[in-house]
Structure 1
């Protein structure tokens, strides 16, 4: 299961965006989400999904980039997204 739907919903709620704006190919910069806000959002995701951020920082430019990185961490850390995706 992909983290994308949960991430999209969180971006809409946190940054006052519309669902139509928050597509996988949407560039964060164009959505008004700067690099500091992106880092803060990643920490929110860490809390939401019970993840531990590891490794080197990866350039994140799009909504899809966030989902990709979260999905990798979820797989590496053996976390199930079932409950989070269903309740978000």
Structure 2
């Protein structure tokens, strides 16, 4: 019974509320900036897992993260769309 309760709580907080807040963020900063920021989500997950869960970092993860960050910076510097990060 506890498992069902926790499953419902995770689905509400990690899915429903996250989607609602993302939609509000898109309205506030624009679709281009929101998509650029959402590209950084895996990097935040990697850093959080390293700091909080003490997961190991390999050179492949660091190299891939650097590529993602470089691509986001290139898009932001090019003015890739309607709006650019402030």
* TM-score of the pair, normalised by structure 2: 0.27
* TM-score of the pair, normalised by structure 1: 0.26
Instruction: Tell me: higher relative CO, structure 1 or 2? Use CA pairs within 8 A at least 6 residues apart.
Output: 1
| Structure with the higher helix share, 1 or 2 | 2
